[in-house]
A and B are shown apart, each in its own frame.
Chain A
Amino acid sequence: MLRNAYLMAVLTGIALLTSTQDAYAYLDPGTASLILQGIIGGIAAAAAVAAAYWLRVKHFFSRTFGRGGNSCITAAETDNE
């Protein structure tokens, strides 16, 4: 099961790699590291979008029901984690 999950992840990563782009030449970033960034980059971007929406929802509720300016969650704190 776990092997299949990893295989899926690799395939997803490769599927994200569509057009060719030169890397900075002097350091080899490593194939595995590039594929992995394809995978976790999607997660990271999705988390950032989710965090932005979550902030909007919070702002909406704090404006509608709460005492204004009470939100202490910053975009940086909610990003990706």
Chain B
Amino acid sequence: MTAFDPGSFRDPAGHVVRQGDRVFRVVAPERAEETRAVLEAPFFKRRTGTSIVPTWIASARDRVSVTSGIEGNFPLVLEHERIEVVSYPFEWPFSLLKRAAELHLEIHLEALEDGFDLSDSSAYNVQFAGTRPQFIDILSFRRYREGAYWAGYKQFCEEFLAPLLLTACRGVPFNDWYRGGLSGLDLVSLSKLLPLRSRFSLQAQMHVFMHARLMRRIRSHEGGAAVKQGKLPLASLKGILRGMLSFVRSLQPRGLESTYWKDYELNNSYLPEDAERKRAAVRAFIEREKPDLLVDVGCNSGDFSELSVAAGAGSSVGVDFDQGALEAAVSRADEHGLPLLPLYQDLTNPSASQGWAASERGGFVERVRPDAVVALAVLHHLIIGKNIPFFAAIKWLVDLAPKGLLEFVPKSDPMVQGMLAHRGDIFPHYTETNFRESLSRLARITSEVQSSASGRRVFTYER
């Protein structure tokens, strides 16, 4: 079955085509020769495998098989190493978006040294293997033409710089805002939001305030919108890119030094033996199932993802809504070289299918297909914290993966008591017996063990 990737349609120079688990990119005739030259360029060869996705020319047989199912003439077909988990910039914690921005600029500067340019600056052209960014859009590389402007300057400002500045200058997480519009943040809006002190930064003044002011002026003088485009000296282009790179490098997230869940890991009420019981249960599950891809729901700082990888999981996607916890998980993955990708998700509002035709960017559940799920101390936040119906919450987690480990926290637990302190207990069905009964309707329970003195229990299932 051959299908164009629904997110790959803007550039007519080529498209991504998926065939089963394999990923191809078909290239239009006018770009074939240039693309072959990119594959041979020193910067490309140097970065392939570390920060550019491994790419090669598909065999003649694969080319026929890929192009026979689609319309159009594509004399060149490339194959890419598959990205295990496709993620989007609005799901990345601050430090991953920053990392992607730096990579984009570094690759652009290196490509210029070899006579190539980048035709756009889409943040979606970067993907992650663990916390390591990889550039994926090979057709963005064009031969540099003397005097060329930075074609993706505005796009870079909107998709990378603006969201980073919102968090760095205001302490406001960018993720929900980014997801709302999909293509970053509009500079005119951002210029109204940034604090006064950011106006004293020369770089912010140029790339945001002056940029926004020019945009407003030009929008209000429609007739004068077209200008003759002159030449930008190469030294100027490189200067703008280097200036932007040092600016991006200087940005730090505000307000994430101490967040509730980041601190929770240090200041929770678990007894050491309870923590060890829970760890043993997770270790046994992972050793038994050896999942290639794990989703760690409510991952916090990635403690259990780290344990899972050590126990034999191939890689883990950790999801959480706490920005401080996600940053801690990124640090953990960096420090210990873990194949862990921390992503922002609100479980009651997970990334949905959106963009053009509501299919350009896939929803989290359809896009990430793990072999196993681990959800420790998550269900009570959905059921009691967010009023998600009891059975629906369990089903949602079970539907994530064919195998999984779920923890049930009883009402008597201090955590749940705290959640019920200021509200009526409208959850008569929230009992261990009902949990066991519901889970066994959805899947086969493969093990069950008490994980705390307060009566928490860990269940594993297979469906």
Contact = CB atoms under 8 A, between A and B. Distances in A.
Q: Do A and B come from one complex?
A: yes
Interface of A: 6, 9-10, 14, 16-21, 23-24, 26-27, 29-45, 47-49, 76, 79-81
A26 B214 CA distance: 22
B151 A24 contact: yes
Closest 5 CB pairs of A and B: A44-B239, A41-B236, A32-B214, A17-B230, A33-B154
Contacts of A42: 236
Interface string B153-164: 111010000000
Nearest to B236: A41
Interface of B: 10-13, 119-120, 142, 145, 147-155, 157, 203, 206, 210-211, 213-215, 217-218, 225-233, 235-240, 242-243, 246-247
Contacts of A20: 228-230
Nearest to A47: B239
A34 B218 contact: no
Contact of B206 (A6, A21, A30, A36): A36
A12 to B, nearest CB: 12
A30 B230 contact: no
A52 B295 CA distance: 50
B151 A21 contact: no
What's the dominant secondary structure at chain A's contact region? helix
Given A32-B218, A37-B240, A48-B239, A27 B152 contact: yes
A40 B120 CA distance: 19
B243 A37 contact: no
Contacts of A38: 230, 232
Contacts, number: 137
Contacts of B10: 26-27
Nearest to A9: B210
Nearest to B13: A26
Nearest to B237: A41
Contacts of A76: 242
Contacts of B215: 30, 32
Contact of A40 (B145, B155, B206, B213): B206
19 contacts: A10-B217, A17-B228, A18-B231, A19-B230, A21-B145, A23-B149, A24-B119, A26-B13, A29-B151, A29-B154, A33-B157, A43-B239, A44-B239, A45-B233, A48-B242, A80-B242, A81-B203, A81-B243, A81-B246
A48 B238 contact: yes
A35 B215 CA distance: 10
Residue with the greatest number of chain A CB neighbours at <10 A, chosen from B148, B210, B238:
B210
A31 B226 contact: yes
Contacts of B239: 41, 43-45, 47-48, 79-80
A23 B151 contact: yes
Contact of A26 (B12, B153, B231): B12
Contacts of A41: 232-233, 236-237, 239-240
Contacts of B119: 24, 26-27
B242 A21 contact: no
Contacts of B150: 29, 37
A27 B122 CA distance: 10
Nearest to A76: B242
A79 B233 CA distance: 16
Given A34-B149, A36-B206, A23 B229 contact: yes
Nearest to B117: A24
Contacts of A79: 239, 242-243, 246
Contact of A80 (B214, B226, B243): B243
Contacts of A14: 227
B44 to A, nearest CB: 18
A36 B210 contact: yes
A36 to B, nearest CB: 6
Contacts of B232: 37-38, 41
Contacts of B231: 18-19, 21
Contacts of B242: 44, 48, 76, 79-80
A44 to B, nearest CB: 3
A80 B230 CA distance: 22
